[in-house]
Structure 1
């Protein structure tokens, strides 16, 4: 009950701050305040507007906002988001472009389950959708999943990926970004052993912790310093009475957000202060740079306790993937069984989340794969976000990934020229 009360207390604090912001905005917006020509009212209204928006976004899942793709015919084609596989903890969704001939490249984009929604990959989806048919793993917020749905740990995550790959078929090209990279590698290896015909054609791993010890970061240092007992005691709470997952043990999104913000508290404080000034001066807009970034950054989701704990213990502490000792449903996965799936690794030179070398370890684990089926790219000057959604992705990495897909598609290169939108 103590954990449940703690969860509800955090939600109550968030709700209170949202209410304070709304109240300040309303009070400072009364026409009567115009009788007093003092900037305090403009600042009060601006503070209230920014505060209300920030705290409201913390419990709202962002929209994909992927509605139109410009085709090679020069026309706008509408995009429909369809759920093809529905599961309790996550769905496989497809972005179907209407009125356009189906593209030969079939891409499964594996989104991370690390605090933010799959919509964090919105710009990645937009850039790929022009030249590919795109599917995305859309993970659910643990607070909305009833306890009766059971557990969800990294083994379940791996089995989900295998099911999604089976559904899409052998002409699939998998791109795993950040956290799911080691599990996507394990899922591919398991399919290689059990159902070779269900394997994808290519597997691209972008900035993932295949071997966390290959290059220590603050994330890996934290994993080493803190014991599992400390994590269980300090990080986990039970979902409160407001949500369908009441009673489920989770690592709350609000607690994760606190950690995210504390890592760069000065930068975030400056950004919000400057936004308040812009709003007060009338220089801000609904979709300005600040709002676009923080609407996504502040939208956090709860993670099941077993997924969080198993990730820390088995991926970071025990390094089961790095040592090729990962067990799924009682079966030890042998990554060396991958012998026909082309594997590409992408890293950022200045990645401070998954430092250079951590993801590269995947190629050494693929002992059954010939050298011509392996590829590696390290993007100069790129940080973690830039290698899958920033300028480095758009200008350099994306064309390389598409060329890699074409080179390993089992046939001649197909499709039109590269065109990036959004």
Structure 2
């Protein structure tokens, strides 16, 4: 009950702040105050609007908001979200584009389960859709999953990915971003051993912790300093009474959000101060840069306790992936079983979460791949977010990933792409 009481206390604080913001906005917006003009009322109303919206976003799952794309014929084509596989802890979601011939590139985008919803990859999906058929792993908020559905740890996560790959077939190109990078590699190796004909064509790993010790960061240092007992005591709570997952042990999204903000407190405080000032001057917008960013950033989801704790213990502390000692469902995964999947590594020079070298360590594990089946790219000046959703992704990384997929697609098209890629590399 202690953990449950703490969980509900955090929700009560969030709810109270949302109410205070709404009350301040409503009170300070009465027309009667126009008879006694005072900037205090404008500032109060602006503070209320920003506060109400910010705290409300914390419990709202963002929409994908990808309704159409422009095709090669110059027409808008409707995009429909279709659930191909529905599972208790996450779905395989397809973005089906109507009215255009199906694209040859079939991409499975493995979204992170690290506090934010899969919609964090919205811009990544939107950038791929004009040239690819796109599927994404759409993870569910643990607070909405009844305890009767059982556990969900990194082994279950890996099995989900393996099942999704098998469902999509061998012509798939898998792209894993950040947290799922080591588990996508493990799922590919497990699939290569269990069902070799279902292996994907390529695997692109973007900014993930294959070997956290290869380049220590603040994130890896924290994992080293804190014991598992301390972590469980500080981070794990039980879902409160008003949610479907009441009683489930989780790492709460609101607690994670506090950690995210504390890492860059000064920058966030300044951003909100600037936003309140802009609103008070009448210069704020519903979809301005601040709201677009924080509507997504503040929307957080709970992770199951066993997923969070097993990630810290086995990926960061035990380095099971880096040591080729990872076990899934009682079976030791062997990365040397990957023989037909081309693997590309993408890292950002200024990535302070998964520093350069952590993801690159994957290539040393793939002892059965030929040199031409391995590739890597270090994006100059790019941080963690930029390598999958920012300008660096759009202008530099995305074209390289597309070339890599084409070069290892098989058939005449793949041969032409390989020759083009070889020529461009000198």
**Could you say which residue in structure 2 is the equivalent of 1:6?**
6
- Secondary structure of the structure 1 residue equivalent to 2:37: coil
1:159 partnered with 2:159: yes
Instruction: State how far apart, in whole Å, the 1-side matches of 2:25 and 2:386 are.
Output: 35
- Secondary structure of the structure 2 residue equivalent to 1:242: coil
- Secondary structure of the structure 2 residue equivalent to 1:116: coil
Instruction: State how far apart, in whole Å, the 2-side matches of 1:115 and 1:83 are.
Output: 22
Spell out, residue by residue over 1:257-312, the C-alpha distance to the aligned partner (whole angstroms, 9 max, x if none): 00000011110000000000001111111000000000000000000000000000
* TM norm structure 2: 0.97
**Could you say which residue in structure 2 is the equivalent of 1:420?**
none
Unaligned ranges ≥5, structure 2: 417-426
Instruction: State how far apart, in whole Å, the 2-side matches of 1:390 and 1:225 are.
Output: 32
Tell me by how many angstroms 1:413 deviates: 3.1
**Could you say which residue in structure 1 is the equivalent of 2:400?**
400
Which runs of structure 2 are paired with 1:64-213 in the superposition (5 Å)?
A: 64-213=64-213
Tell me by how many angstroms 1:214 deviates: 0.1
Tell me by how many angstroms 1:36 deviates: 1.2
Instruction: State how far apart, in whole Å, the 2-side matches of 1:160 and 1:148 are.
Output: 18
**Could you say which residue in structure 1 is the equivalent of 2:274?**
274
- Secondary structure of the structure 1 residue equivalent to 2:413: coil
Instruction: State how far apart, in whole Å, the 2-side matches of 1:346 and 1:36 are.
Output: 59
The count of residues paired between Structure 1 and Structure 2 equals: 415
**Could you say which residue in structure 1 is the equivalent of 2:420?**
none
- Secondary structure of the structure 2 residue equivalent to 1:413: helix
Unaligned ranges ≥5, structure 1: 416-422
Instruction: State how far apart, in whole Å, the 1-side matches of 2:258 and 2:242 are.
Output: 21
Tell me by how many angstroms 1:39 deviates: 0.6
Instruction: State how far apart, in whole Å, the 1-side matches of 2:242 and 2:122 are.
Output: 29
**Could you say which residue in structure 2 is the equivalent of 1:391?**
391
Instruction: State how far apart, in whole Å, the 1-side matches of 2:93 and 2:137 are.
Output: 6
1:45 partnered with 2:45: yes
Spell out, residue by residue over 1:175-233, the C-alpha distance to the aligned partner (whole angstroms, 9 max, x if none): 00000000000000011111001110000000000000000000000000000000011
**Could you say which residue in structure 1 is the equivalent of 2:350?**
350
- Secondary structure of the structure 1 residue equivalent to 2:308: helix
**Could you say which residue in structure 1 is the equivalent of 2:230?**
230
Spell out, residue by residue over 1:35-80, the C-alpha distance to the aligned partner (whole angstroms, 9 max, x if none): 1111110000000000000000000000001011000000000100
Tell me by how many angstroms 1:412 deviates: 3.1
Spell out, residue by residue over 1:241-264, the C-alpha distance to the aligned partner (whole angstroms, 9 max, x if none): 010000000000000000000011
RMSD between aligned alpha carbons? 0.8
1:323 partnered with 2:323: yes
Instruction: State how far apart, in whole Å, the 1-side matches of 2:103 and 2:148 are.
Output: 40
Instruction: State how far apart, in whole Å, the 2-side matches of 1:58 and 1:135 are.
Output: 26
- Secondary structure of the structure 2 residue equivalent to 1:412: helix
